[in-house]
Structure 1
């Protein structure tokens, strides 16, 4: 051991430095008084050992900051380490070196000395701070007690010979270092103890570390005991179960429970009517189940699979009502209007009554919210006498929701289609797939693609669910899907379905729905059905026009419910009223100020102001377009929160007017001398679409020619650069909006004549609908003569046409 005089004397202020080779250590801390074998494989470390052996066998041992560094630098080595002596060095056959080193005293690296083959450092021994005798005795006793308690909990952690050696140590510093070296602390804590020169602090930290190890050892012991107890319980249960089976078998009278369960499964399979493939699969799986130990996980998987096969309605059918008259009565009782969907359902029933086997049609009801798509599907089930099943597809992203999971997954199940059939217990229900347009896709697959097989009449007779892994016949099911819009449904899926559009209700239809269905329903729901409560016609129309803005009747029902609740409150207070009459004047008392106002016809014929027709998701609406001409440099300004399509329509209108400037008697350079501002009011509402093309063009020509536009005229249509009027959509809703706003003359594109059949006859008789093919015709009809004043009365309304209320302005 290296001799350093007066090393542990506290009054020694300076120690002489030593020049020693450095041996970096990866995962071990060498303490003074510690003899430890080391296996060295790095060339620099081997060179440092060889140099130490050649000189005086002294070497400095320091820990690396990170053990994963193969070639550490100066900054990767701890500055506090141990000055040690190489006792033995042995080269092994694989090129590594085994060395036996003994720690002597703590040391600190003062400087790194030049060297290429290995690190050579200047080391100064660390002076330790001692303790008074009484304190040293107390700390020594505390550390020994902690160490004894640790050994008691971890008998195998410290070898007996080390325990005997520790018991004989009298020096406090040596005791602390020896215990720290042999208790399994982590490297970080051991380095902290090595770096602590104050003996009092070192022994305090050592006691704390030992207590932590004792707590950890106690927790580990509890966990081991708990695991052992559970294993013993499982073994005991298994042993008892086997004994019970053996006893029952010896008695020979009764079968064991597992045998009874298998026998019951076999009887159910024999009684169940299913396809040949299903019966074969069930018998095969039952055979596997008999050979599978009941305690294995696979036993439960096979058992659940057989349960699914047996519980499905393979050949179970409900009796279908083919009485067309009775079905028509039921459909009319449940819904007002909706003639096309009702007609299609009655056609299906007629075909089914004539043909024994008809492939179930796939109907897709498309319309705005609240028009009765889902309730119509329920009425179909009621009219046909079938069970009704509904599945919401909104937000479904996983293909397995439709096709099911394969049985290789834990917790796998069939898809929603098979699950719903199991609940309904028949193979020919009315199956409503709600919100088919709101499915999405992600990394788990595309559920809309999985629906192709379900909804294809040429494929769904052999639908293959991943969980069942065999064909299942879905062709007897009457599928009804619902959607709010078509554009979000993939085209291949649309191709499998028969699209039936449900447009928004007219005010007349809403009135009838409210009086025949909604009001009686809400009176009963709010507990005031026994009171004499009446809604006047004007009151219902006021709620429809001023408190709702929708294509359906959902919000209308909410407003009626609000009125019924307020009446119920008055009744509950005991006001004594037995009759309530709701009029147009009292609606505001229950519902507050009106929420909406519908577009109305202008009061005067004005220059540059034209009434257009627009379509929104809640129906048609009047749309005013204004144009102002100002001296300027030819800038075109378009405002009103318009989309790209409407801006392009405005630019097309300007180009058309420029090309016809001579015909309109307009200065051909107007686009250079004047600024044009086209504005569509209600700028907070986004607007887009080609329907306002003819409206913008008429407003522009009126502003440039100073000719007023008839106020009782509304128009819609797309315009081309040559003035052709192209067809647009939403004609029915637009005409209804014009009628609601007091408009009597309406101009629509010639190619939209086919849409006039959807207009209710009672409304068509009150309107003059003009069909137009060119912008010149519209301008002739819309602009007043140049010598007319802005406030002159509009021309009288022409009589409606006998067939559909429309005429061609070109005739």
Structure 2
């Protein structure tokens, strides 16, 4: 069976029409109204493998497990309210109550779609966090009793405002450096009014492990959650900057290699048009002079290797002329040539 994986939110936008009742970007008033909504004491639970749902955030989910499909279809016919909880071990196909995290999110099913490949896709919006208490049903899907997750009050001082501003700015930098993130995400960030929704929105979309996202979901204090978001964003930004530096250096090196190759090809063409390749002429001339030398076998073999080394060198390289001079010096030495000295 397939995982309950979420896909890019931007791909879901065309299939959500204007009649859909949800807030893609929540205002403070929207959030206050959502927090005051009544939630059932018992919820059917949709386990998630690879993601965490945060309050206010809208995500698409591909549902593949038989239990999950049955749950979604029944809930869609009713009040469309379910509980969404990430499982502790993503490799487990059919998690039990004990294998689920104990903090989840109340979710509203916005839309259900039957995809061409046979899978069921649902678009859900997080509402409120809750704690799992007891299991009251295991088949055909898990149902549990819940209690509301209480958010601790935090002080909105200058330090907290500066922290939120830094998070917003750093997120914008990451969007700018990431080619796969649409530019609309940056516009969305600027238009988010609610601080808690901003933190939830970034937590949901940032490149972090599911375990880290679950940890943030379970934090009762918004300031502490914001600090963890800042820490994870800093790591992500550093990785992106390093990645871009490496890619830029590779592109520069490739550009230089391509330029050198192009220039060498041009030089080769010009030399051929002028009556032959000068490097070939030099090689042939050195080889011809070597055949006339009366040197021993060892010296001849040594010279041959040095001549082969020359043939593998780029004529435009600085070492090429040095190798030419070295070979000419070997040829100029009087190997086994003797003269009769006159001491008179």
Aligned match of 2:197: 174
Match of 1:49 among 64, 72, 87: 72
Q: Deviations over 1:534-582 (max 9, x none)?
A: xxxxxxxxxxxxxxxxxxxxxxxxxxxxxxxxxxxxxxxxxxxxxxxxx
Cα separation, 2, equivalents of 1:258 and 1:47: 81
Cα separation, 2, equivalents of 1:229 and 1:179: 34
Counting only pairs closer than 5 Å after superposition, residues 379-458 of structure 1 correspond to structure 2 as none
Counting only pairs closer than 5 Å after superposition, residues 502-517 of structure 1 correspond to structure 2 as none
Note closer, same or farther for the CA distance 1:41–1:219 as it changes in structure 2 (3 Å cut).
Answer: same
CA contact (8 A) 2:175 2:183 kept: no
Secondary structure (helix, strand or coil) at the match of 1:233 reads helix
TM-score (norm 1): 0.30
Cα separation, 1, equivalents of 2:31 and 2:283: 87
1:121 lines up with 2:161 in the alignment: no
Aligned match of 1:220: 243
1:164 lines up with 2:178 in the alignment: no
Match of 2:166 among 109, 131, 142: 142
Cα separation, 1, equivalents of 2:254 and 2:47: 46
Say which structure, 1 or 2, has more relative contact order (CA 8 Å, 6+ apart): 2
TM-score (norm 2): 0.68
CA contact (8 A) 1:7 1:127 kept: no
Q: Deviations over 1:413-443 (max 9, x none)?
A: xxxxxxxxxxxxxxxxxxxxxxxxxxxxxxx
Cα separation, 2, equivalents of 1:110 and 1:261: 89
Cα separation, 2, equivalents of 1:259 and 1:79: 80
Note closer, same or farther for the CA distance 1:85–1:16 as it changes in structure 2 (3 Å cut).
Answer: closer
Cα separation, 1, equivalents of 2:242 and 2:42: 47
Note the residue ranges of structure 1 that are not aligned, 5 or more in a row: 10-14, 269-288, 296-811
Secondary structure (helix, strand or coil) at the match of 2:267 reads helix
Aligned match of 1:200: 223
CA contact (8 A) 1:157 1:183 kept: no
CA contact (8 A) 1:140 1:172 kept: yes
Counting only pairs closer than 5 Å after superposition, residues 33-432 of structure 1 correspond to structure 2 as 33-135=56-158, 136-154=160-178, 156-252=179-275, 254-257=277-280, 260=283, 264=287
Aligned match of 2:52: 29
Secondary structure (helix, strand or coil) at the match of 1:256 reads helix
Q: Provide the aligned length of Structure 1 versus Structure 2.
A: 265
Secondary structure (helix, strand or coil) at the match of 2:171 reads helix
Q: Deviations over 1:366-404 (max 9, x none)?
A: xxxxxxxxxxxxxxxxxxxxxxxxxxxxxxxxxxxxxxx
CA contact (8 A) 2:35 2:127 kept: no
Note the residue ranges of structure 2 that are not aligned, 5 or more in a row: 1-20, 23-29, 292-307, 315-344
Post-superposition offset of 1:175: 1.1
Note closer, same or farther for the CA distance 1:159–1:262 as it changes in structure 2 (3 Å cut).
Answer: farther
Note closer, same or farther for the CA distance 1:57–1:262 as it changes in structure 2 (3 Å cut).
Answer: farther
Cα RMSD over matched residues? 3.3
